[in-house]
Amino acid sequence: MNEGAQSRSSVDANRRWFAENASYAEGIARLETYRTIRAAIDEQITGVGRLLDIGNGGVFDYDTSRAREIVAVDLFLDEAPPESGPPNVTFRRGDALALDESDASYDAVLVALVLHHLVGERTGDLVPNLRRAIAEAHRVLRPGGRLIVVESCVPTWFHAVERVMFRPLTLLAGTPLLSHPATMQLPARQIGALMAERFVPVQGRELPVGRWILQFGRRWPSALTPARPWMLTGSRS
């Protein structure tokens, strides 16, 4: 495996979990935290002509009518029937690290709550994977097009804890103790720095949370986790 490649076990676990887990979509719709995320995305995509939604998972965290045309890609979306989505949405299979999309063909790219899933076999694989995902988003954007990232972020100290816990979580993933795939969250500042390698200007803000947040696909009190949603944006020069 090349350095930075997403592990096969991670790809399979994510495909299986999101394709078969209707409760995730229900959780997104119910919780105040995700209604706030929806409003933030709606603001960013309003008036966009052609939007690429990477890692869509069959779930729309936003009002699809805000963009003229949406192409939603994920590891299993080639299995989705065309009639299952809104009329302006096309589902396609797509890999965030190697998109099968033409250069400079989108006005905006959305990557919502996806980056922490792009893990590899080792803790050090996440950052190279994010660089590849950001490079792919840059490639498919037209000049002046915008990258919109919504991501669950953690403080630097907690990221260090997650690095230690990553291997045990990988072993537990898919078992009765942890049905959710193993993930790893990064500090918002680090994601912003990675985006700034290709996009300008990069702007970020923490989004307000409600009482509950989803952790490993389960409802969790926001007060008991340092994870917080951030929105980061940048334009292709």
CA dist., res. 129 & res. 135, Å (int): 10
Question: Which portions of the chain are predicted below pLDDT 50?
Answer: 1-4
The per-residue pLDDT for 172 is 78
- Return the percent helix, strand and coil in the chain, to nearest 5: 40, 30, 30
User: pLDDT digit string (tens) for 5-61?
Assistant: 665 655 665 555 555 555 555 666 689 999 999 999 999 999 999 999 999 988 898
Residue 204 CB coordination number (10 Å): 17
Return d(Cα 126, Cα 123) in angstroms, integer.
6
pTM tops 0.85, yes or no: yes
Q: Where are the domains of the chain?
A: 8-236
Q: Which of 123, 77, 80, 125 lies closest to 100, judged by CA?
A: 77
- Measured between its terminal Cα atoms, the distance across the chain in Å is 33
CATH of the domain spanning 8-236, picked from 3.40.50.150, 1.20.1260.10, 3.30.300.160, 1.20.120.530: 3.40.50.150
DSSP bridge partners of 213: 220
